[in-house]
Structures are given as structure tokens and as C-alpha cells.
Structure 1
Amino acid sequence: MADSSKRGVCDTGDNDGKASPNLITKKPKIEPGDAHPCDLSGFGIQKILRDCVREKTIFVHGKVAEKEAVVILEKTPFNEDTLDELFRDSQFTLESNNDIYTTFQLQPPAHLNVIKTTLVCPATEKHVRKYQEQDTVLVEETAEDYLSITLPFLKNQSFSLQWVYNILEKKAEADRVVYEDPDPNLGFVLLPDFKWDQMQLDNLYLIAIVHRRDVKSLRDLTSEHLPLLRNIEEKGKNAIKEHYGIQSNKLRVYVHYQPSYYHFHVHFNVLKYDAPGTGVEKAHLLSNIIQNLECDDQYYRTRTLTFPLRELDGLLARFKEAGRLYLGSVVSQRGAVPYSTSKMKITRGKG
């Protein structure tokens, strides 16, 4: 439930103002003389928080210049445009051969062996807990639970949204925004999420952040917000088609509950990308949200919502203290419902 760090963003477009359908133009490189508040060459490792073998991502807790820090290292996807160079210029070391099967260790040129690195510094205890390996359980939150447990918890937390306001006020990343509707009530900015490697379209992932600041999450939505939601859905899809050539029926457009930060935003990613947080226990399709509010003005303010919480999450502790979660069971209006505490991979989102 910690506030999200900034996402990565990218420059888009070629000579005609549109990106190639297969390759996204690279971000400008940081020059050696460019100043940066933290130098990772002096990073001191304290603890491995989580090692995601399948995603080839590792989360490390340590210190940079005596400041607490979390570093996220992620192997970048292959790029089909550099495969010829990869085979031509790499060093191959034979490991084994058996009939038609041969395995090698391949050492590519340095510029083809990039590791995407995200630094959170200075990192708080909340950041460390956020990236730490934890068990996850499902919680059923009634409308009463939201008002008596969740909302008071959120109001007492120091979730910083300054990075969001910097974007909306064009104090940061203004040149990276893919699309903006400046209307104060219906408008939003659309820009890449940090999960996107920004080099190809197979894992395209963008975020629409609304200008208005009175909507924290799904729970605040009523039929009053239908024009805003329809505007995001229509103009967001059109902008992605214009910039990246992706049709709207190849996009997954959804909202998280609980979100990772409490300023309303909508996720856009390609269907072929199995993005973190797209499971039914967390993601709500924007089209379904619109239909539900068309049928019931107070739909998301009155219904019971189910979502995952990790074992060290402060909100989970509040549910336990309120007697809404106990000894392997979730307490709902239907009585105690048993659940299993299976481990689920948790990744950041701005959303």
C-alpha cells in the first residue's frame, strides 16, 4: 500500500510523428557529466527482498551514500531488430551436446546486455515492505468496511502524491507525455508506465492519470464520473492507435482496487502482455465499470469488493484489529469464509 515510485517514460515518434509499429524509439541517454542524486556504484547490499526467477527481476535493499535504498534489477526483453548483431558479435561457450540438442553460454556485446535498473532513494520502511516477499490473502471489503476501516487508514497514511502533481502541473516529464486532455474535470495525461521497457510494443503499458484530484479510487466513482471514464476510454485508445498503431480491441484497459497510489488512474496494456496485477482479484475492466455505473449510480460505493493484501500490509492489520479477518478466515456478511494463504508474486504499480 506504499506510494508508487515514478514510472519510466519514453520519447515516441519518427519523422512523421508516429512510432514504428514494431519498435519504439530509444530514450535519450544520460551523459556521463549529468548530475544524479545517487550513485549506484557505491550501492551496499543489505538484503535480497525478492527474487522473481520467472520475470528475471530481483529487488535488493541496501544503502547509497548512507541513504536507505531499494534497487530493482530487471532483464530487458529481446529485440528482434538486434538479433542479427546478437548472433554475429556474441561469444559462445559450449556447455553440452547430445544428438540434436546443444546448449551454449552466450555472452552478448555490452550494449545488447542491458539490465533495466530502478532506484528508490531514500527508501522508507514502507518501500522495503512493499518489495519484500510476502504471503498474500484475499479480503472482502463491504461498504461499511471501507468507511470504518479502509478510509480512516488511508487518511492516516503519508502517501506522497507529489510525483503525480509534478506531472499534471508540467513540472516533470512534460516532454514525455504521449497525450493530454487538459480539461480540469474530464481531462487526463497519458504516459508510459515504468513496467514498459519502451523498446517494443509486445509489452506496451501506459497509464492515464486524471487531472481532477477528488477521486482516490474505484470506491469514489458514481454516475457523475461517467463522462470522465468514457473520455479516458475513447481518447486513450485513439491516442495509442495514433502513436503506436495498436487497435483498441487489442488493448486491456482497467483499474486496480486497491490501487498502489490514491489518485485515480487507468491502465492500458496490450492483451498479449501478461502484465502484473491483471488478475480478477485486482483488475476491473474500464468497460465493465462504465456499464455497472450506468445500471447503478452507487455501484462501487455500496457493493462488497474483494482484493488481495500482503501479510505485512498495514491495512490487513486494521482488518484483523476490527475482527474482519482472523485465523485463516475472512469475515464477510455471509459469515466466515475460509481462504488459503498461497504465495502470489507482487509487483509495483503505479496502480
Structure 2
Amino acid sequence: MAENENGRATKRPKSEADNETGDTDEKSTESPVANLVVTRILRECAREKNVFIHGKVKDQDAVVILEKTPFRQDTLSELLKASELKLEMKNDVYSTFQLHAPAHLNEKHIKKYLHQEVFLVEESGEDYRNLTLPYISGQSFSLQWVYNILEKKAEADRIVFEDPDPKTGFVLLPDFKWDQKQLQDLYLIAIIHRRDVKSLRDLTSEHLPLLTNIRRKGEDTILQKYSVSASKLRVYLHYQPSYYHLHVHFTSLEYNAPGCGVERAHLLSDVIQNLEADSTYYHNRSLTFPLRADDGLLLRFREAGKL
């Protein structure tokens, strides 16, 4: 869960103390990035209007993501009328300008974002058990922030739906990539309550009630709350996921969300059908996914002669 906007950092890096208590001082007026010392630009994309910055806040490493929010129709007229324009080029009927919007209209971990060469890896079920599972089990990334959400120690006010059932239940809340203003960019995450399912690889037919419950109640909630029907949603799981606690993505079909490509996203409807046909489908099936050049798992596959 992460990102957002032109001059607006969406989420400061959590300290160990924050992970323990879950909440920060909401009344504080100090910007969490006011004292950021910029080390380098990890990546920037003119097309997606975002930049990933590596720096330090009080000697603690931090990644700050600035991303332009979508233009809002209700502010376009004022934006065009009240902004200062600087002519850059004029050629016949074509002109380009630099636009400086009024202040009140400015929309209110490190390797992961550094640009790297990417490789596609084909992982068999045996590869998962012998290479991937031991590797991810040895990593130190904490899931405490996920447990804080599930236990209402953090972000409780952001939860739009919860089924508390310990086996088939989940919480549904907006992803930080969505500003919750435009439905074209709708993006919510369903996080399951049970803690024994890390990823797609753990799923069997035993989990069908969980998956069908997420699909039905997630789609129903989004229809009731946002008036977006199931036929306008992309509902999928990532493999490999960014964190190993099973979660499901709900995004608008109009939003080209990061990670929604075929090399990583698996439609929930397909997952359900595959498990209905074969209980151990994801235990044995070869799965293809991208790995960056600096990923330690890629080295494991190379050392095993899999690349």
C-alpha cells in the first residue's frame, strides 16, 4: 500500500515505534518530509508523472514518492482561468505552455523503486518449494503493519467493509494510490484475516469459500458505496506479491494500475475456477513472474541453473 502526488508525499516511512502503536500524532503540523535530505532520484517517469526519491530523515533511510493526482473536472475551469501561462513554443495552430497553477489548486523500500533490468522467471512447484519459499522465509520484512490494520491499531477509519470471520473474513480499504475522488482510478485492497496464507502458492480448494466470499462481498460493497458494478472491475492477485500475506486487488478497468499486466496479475475468477478443477493447481503449476536484476531471488534461480 503506498503512493501519491505533485508536491504531496502520501505516506511517511514507519518507524519501529509506529509499528508498535499503529498510529502517529494526527495533530502534528510538522511535515514528515520537511527535513528530508535527498540522496538520489531512484526513478522518474514523465508519462506517469511520478518520481521516487531516496533520502534520509533524521538519519533514517526513506523513500518518498511524489505522483501527480488525476485532473478533476470540478476544478478544470478555475485551473484554466486562474493559472499563469508561459509560452514555450508556437507553430501555426499549435502552442505549448508551461502552466503555473494557483497554490490552492496544487493537488492537495529503496531497491524496489530503483530502475533495474527485469527478467522473466518460470517457477515450477518444485522451484517454489526448493528456492523461493526458503528465500522469502529468510527475509526480514515485517508484516506488523498488516496486523495493525487487521487489529484496528492503525488505519481503522479507512476500512470501508469488514467481514470478521476468522476463516473467510477480510477487511476492504482504499489503496494509497487512489485519492478517492475519481472513480476512474478506483483501487481497493482486500486483506484476509487468517495469517496462514502467504500467496497464490498456498491456495487449495479448501480456500474456495474465502475467495468466493472476497469476490462477492467486495464487489457488493464497491457497488453500494461507489456505484461501480462488477463488470467494471479488475479483481486479481499478484504473484509474486509485494508482501506475503494474502490480499486481493480491486481496481477500475479504466485504471492501468501498476502490476496489472499478465506477467504478474492473476484474475480472481480464474484462480477460483482453477482451484475448482484442481485442488492443488497452484502447488504444482509453473508460474511466470518478473524479477529485477538486483533481486536476491534472481541470484538463487541463476545459481540453480534455472536462467
TM-score above 0.5, yes or no: yes
Partner of 2:19: none
Deviation for aligned residue 1:264 = 0.1
Counterpart CA distance in 2 for 1:113 and 1:229 is 40
Root mean square deviation of aligned Cα: 1.9
SS state at 1:306 partner: strand
Q: Deviations over 1:118-157 (max 9, x none)?
A: xxxxxxxxx2111110010000101110110001011111
What pairs with 1:269-288 in structure 2 (closer than 5 Å)?
Answer: 269-288=251-270
Q: Which residue of 2 aligns with 1:322?
A: 304
Question: What is aligned with 1:101?
Answer: 94
Residue 149 of structure 2 aligns with which residue? 167
1:51 aligns with 2:44: yes
Residue 106 of structure 1 aligns to a residue in which SS?
strand
1:82 is aligned to 75
Amino acid across the alignment from 1:255: L
**Residue 61 of structure 1 corresponds to which residue in structure 2?**
54
More off after superposition, 94-103 vs 313-322: 94-103
Give yes or no for contact 1:187–1:211 (8 Å, CA) kept in 2. yes
- Please tell me whether residue 114 in structure 1 is matched to residue 114 in structure 2: no
1:190 touches 1:208 (CA, 8 Å); kept in 2? yes
Distance 2:47 2:272 in 1: 35
Matched, 1:200 2:194: no
Whole-angstrom distance in 1 between the partners of 2:113 and 2:92: 44
What is the TM-score with the length of structure 1 in the denominator?
A: 0.79
In the alignment, which of 250, 266, 289 is matched to residue 268 of structure 1? 250
Find 2:231's aligned residue among 238, 246, 249. 249
Q: Could you say what secondary structure the match of 1:152 adopts?
A: helix
- Secondary structure of the 2:110 match is helix
CA distance in 2, matches of 1:107, 1:5: 27
Which stretches in structure 2 are left out of the alignment for 5+ residues?
Answer: 5-9, 12-24
The Cα shift of 1:35 comes to: 5.7
> Would the aligned equivalents of 2:190 and 2:247 in 1 still touch at CA under 8 Å?
yes
> How far did 1:5 drift?
5.6
* Displacement after TM superposition at 1:112 (Å): 1.6
Answer yes or no: is the 8 Å Cα contact 1:142–1:305 preserved in 2: yes
Number of corresponding residues = 289
Question: Does 2:135 correspond to 1:141?
Answer: no
* Uncovered stretches (5+) of structure 1, i.e. residues with no partner: 10-29, 116-126, 326-351
* DSSP-derived class of the 2:184 partner: coil
Q: SS of the residue aligned with 1:137? A: strand
CA contact (8 A) 2:184 2:252 kept: yes
Following superposition, the deviation at residue 163 of structure 1 comes to 0.7
Q: Does 1:34 align with 2:28?
A: yes
Residue aligning to 1:341: none
Q: Judge conservation of contact 2:2–2:177 (CA < 8 Å) in 1.
A: no
Which residue matches 2:21?
A: none
Query: Which letter maps to 1:299?
Result: Y
| Separation (CA, whole Å) in 2 of partners of 1:283 and 1:226 | 19
Provide the residue aligned with 2:197 in structure 1: 215
C-alpha distance in 2, partners of 1:246/1:270?
8
The 4+ residue runs of structure 1 with deviation greater than 4 A are 4-9
Any idea what SS the aligned residue of 2:41 has? strand
2:171 maps to 1:189 = yes
Find the partner of 2:292 among 310, 317, 324: 310
